[in-house]
Every structure is written in C-alpha cells, then in structure tokens.
Amino acid sequence: AGAAGAAPPPPPGTAAFVGILDIYGFEIFAANGLDQLLINFANEVLQRNFDDCLLAAEAARYDADAVPWASLDLARTLKSSAIVDLVTKAPRGLLPLLDEQVKLGNRGSDAAFLTQADKAHRASGVYAKPRLDRNAFVVAHYAGAVTYDPAGFLLSNSDPLPADVAAVFARSANPGVAALVAGASSGDKAAPGGLPSL
C-alpha cells in the first residue's frame, strides 16, 4: 500500500511516454468564416472527448477505490454535444444545410443558408443572431461566443471542378464518368460561380 495519490511503479522494462497533440487552437477574429467554424468545431469535438474520457476515468477510479462522489456538473460536456449536433446532425445541422445549398449550384446562396440556419436553430441554446448584424450568426462555443459571417461559406464548401477537367469528363466514353458532369452547364451540378462540382 503506497501513499495516497502516489502512482504505482511502471512495469519492468517499460519506457516512459509523453504524448503531445498540437492542433489549431480556438479561433475568434474580427471576421470569422467557414474555416474558423470548422477549426472551432474540431476543438469542440476534442474538448467533448477529453471531458468524456477524463470524467469517465475519474468516475471509474473513484468507484474502484470506493470513494463516494457526487455527480459532476456536465454543463460543458452537454454544451459541446449540443454544438456538435448544431454543426453536424442531419438534416438541419449547419454542415448538412450548407451542403444542401451547394448542391443547388447557382440557385444556392449564402443568404439562403443563413435563413435556413436561423429557422432551424433560433430556439437552440447555442445559436443566436447578433443584435447589430442580421447577416451573421453566433455560436456559443465552450471557449466563448463567436460571430460568423456566412458570406463565402458556399464557395469555401464547394469543390469546383476546373473547366478543362469537366470537359475531359464530359467527353469520356464511360457513361458513368460523363454523367458526373452532365447538367453542369445548366447549373444543376455547378458550384457557386458556375464551375462544375463533384
């Protein structure tokens, strides 16, 4: 029986190991676009997973040592889960809504994305409209509220196919390959700006 809080000695023949994960940190700038939303979302997921693992490990350790403990305040973990759903949950998450607008080609718009997002999430505790800028939205991340400007979201989220590549696909003898760009000239599969998109 060792001292309280002392770590058990490592098994013989094992080496010490320290892991370091270095990623982009939480970002908040004067103007925040899709890149910042995705970086902050990645941090949100990492924070949620860290909280889940840490809390689960501590609870298991307390239970194994028969240490009584009260349920912890999981507000931060629950908030992170709500934001993960806000961003990814189909069919009304921010990314599925954005994909929907991109699929509309030239008929899709950043403004339509914002209107759909506002309608789908206005009652959410983690999504809001800023008072002074009706052409933006706010996400209340674990690290702080960030105002996002959706101008350019569709273009950033599309994967435009260069015109010369689209022309090669269109001339393909393989009907499946040719079908990938069929209708691009009518805007059905065009990314914002009129370029075909896969």
pTM score, two decimals? Answer: 0.69
Tens of pLDDT, residue by residue over 21-42, are: 666 788 999 999 999 999 999 9
Strand order in the sheet with 137-141: 127-128, 137-141, 144-148
Domains and CATH numbers, the chain: 34-54+61-157 (1.20.58.530), 159-198 (no CATH)
Mean pLDDT of 122-140: 94
Mean pLDDT of 108-124: 97
CB atoms within 10 A of CB 119: 11
Spell out where 136-182 has E strands.
137-141, 144-148
Q: What is the mean pLDDT of the chain?
A: 84
Are 121 and 113 spatial neighbours (Cβ–Cβ below 8 Å)? no
Judged against a pLDDT cut of 80, whether residue 155 lies above it is answered with yes
Cα separation of 15 and 12, whole Å?
9
Are 139 and 127 spatial neighbours (Cβ–Cβ below 8 Å)? yes
What's the pLDDT at 32?
98
What's the pLDDT at 3?
64
What's the pLDDT at 9?
78
Judged against a pLDDT cut of 90, whether residue 137 lies above it is answered with yes
What's the pLDDT at 189?
45
- Each as own residue / partner, the long-range contacts of residues 173-178 (CB below 8 Å, 24 or more positions apart, any chain) are none
Mean pLDDT of 49-78: 76
Judged against a pLDDT cut of 90, whether residue 152 lies above it is answered with yes
Tens of pLDDT, residue by residue over 166-197, are: 889 889 999 888 888 876 544 444 455 454 55
Q: Are strands 144-148 and 127-128 parallel, antiparallel or unpaired?
A: unpaired
Is 105 exposed, middle or buried (CB count within 10 Å of its CB: 0-12, 13-18, 19+)? buried
